[in-house]
Amino acid sequence: MVIKRPNRVTISNVAQAAGVSISTVSNVINGKTAAMSEETLARIQAAMLELNYHPSSVARGLAMQRTATLGLILTEIETPLFLQAVTPIEREARRAGYSLLLMNARNEADEREAVRLLQEKQVDGLMVVSTSDPRQNDHLHKIQAEGIPVALINRADLSAEFDQVNWDNAQGVTLVVEHLVRLGHRRIAILTGPSDRRSTQERLQGYRLGLAQNGIALRETLIHSGDYTAAAEAWRQSTLDLLALPEPPTAIIASDDIVAAVIIRAIQETGRKVPAEIAVVGIDDQPFSQYLGLSTVQLPVAEAGRQAIQLLFQRITSLSANAQHILLPCPLIIRDTCGAKKAG
């Protein structure tokens, strides 16, 4: 039998071609075929194939009280670091039959507005990739209480209500200190990030722990500001101040990879060599780091994205399930800039 193709194929066209009711075709689209004969199912599927019929995801979502859409709110969309989470999240969403709506939120006000807009779009779930500065969570509590589950990545505050994925900042910096000590360094400096961020506090904890575990006394003079939200000249000046100390550091841990690049340039301006005289280690493992040969602590942003969306899928299936908190390790990526073995 040759079926004439209409210009716009509808469920009614499929029902007519297969000789069944519209509701029977609807049951096939929505997977309700348990009570259907194999002959009827095969006839409907053949008609759909012949007519090149594609069910409307919007209509199917309404029938299932879902939109097959997820929301992703991203902080600092202009930097490559957090963008690393987008590809694995989008890939997993598409594989599961979901579309992804991406929104940027530089601050708490933007985040609240993004949550409101995504709620209006009736997303089935929401993910937030944020910096670790303190933010209120009441708008997130509210949207989850209304039936839209939320998964958080790198959030400052831990909440028993939300699924969360974070990375172990303290462990990452402890690894750096241990590695530098093995290379012979005893005067290890650190440039710290924004003081109000959880990541900064955790990295300082890891720095102190690494020194203590190796019997090295903490020198407050070796802790300087490397606030990566400030101007690059401030990072340069912090580096020059460290190098001007009576006993300057033989290794410097930067607050992020961009700060590390400025540190290297400042060291070179003084006539010193990296890593022959001073070792430098960054944090982030941004894509450009490999081209600089920069040793760095890798933040597992992509893996956090993969795990967060899986947690979200579980909560979409069962909103009453217990929330899970995952802490990912931060491996040390050893390249050229930490190769100095000489320490005074």
* Full DSSP string of 32-54: --TTS-HHHHHHHHHHHHHHT--
Strand (E) or helix (H) holding 266: helix 257-269
pLDDT at 30: 72
Residue 263 pLDDT > 70 = yes
All structural domains of the chain? 11-63 (1.10.260.40), 69-167+300-328 (3.40.50.2300), 169-299 (3.40.50.2300)
Q: Which two tokens stand for residue 106?
A: 């530089």
pLDDT at 60: 53
Stretch (H or E) spanning 62: helix 57-63
Of 224, 234, 165, nearest in space to 195 by CA: 224
Query: What residue has token string 């209480």?
Result: 145
Coarse DSSP helix, strand, coil percentages of the chain, rounded to the nearest 5 percent: 45, 15, 40
Q: What is the pLDDT of residues 60-115, one digit of tens each?
A: 554 555 688 999 999 988 878 899 999 999 999 998 889 999 999 989 999 999 99
Give the pair of three-digit tokens for residue 133.
Answer: 């500065």
* pLDDT value of residue 342: 44
Of the listed ranges 55-69, 96-110, 263-277, 317-331, the one predicted with least confidence: 55-69
pLDDT tens-digit series, residues 5-59:
446 778 888 889 999 988 888 788 777 788 889 899 899 889 988 888 877 655 5
Two tokens at 334? 């050893």
pLDDT of 1 higher than 90: no
Token output for 109: 């006000």
* pLDDT exceeds 70 at position 341: no
How far is CA 204 from its chain centroid? 22
Residue 157: count other Cβ atoms within 10 Å of its Cβ.
13
Task: Look at residue 262 and tell me whether its pLDDT is greater than 90.
Answer: yes
First to last CA, the chain: 89
Q: pTM of the entire structure?
A: 0.81
Helix 301-317 / helix 86-95 crossing angle, nearest 10 deg: 30
Task: With a cut of 70, say whether residue 196 has pLDDT above it.
Answer: yes
Question: Tens digit of pLDDT for each residue in 115-163?
Answer: 999 999 999 999 999 999 998 999 999 999 999 999 999 999 888 899 9
Q: In terms of pLDDT, which residue wins out, 76 or 325? A: 325
Among 23-27, 119-123, 212-216, 299-303, the range scoring the smallest mean pLDDT is 23-27
DSSP reduced 3-state for 166 = strand
Four-CA torsion 288, 106, 299, 217, nearest 10 degrees: 100
Which pLDDT does position 137 carry in this prediction?
93
Instruction: Give the pLDDT of residue 105.
Output: 94
Convert the pLDDT of each residue in 32-45 to its tens digit. 788 889 899 899 88
pLDDT of residue 166: 97
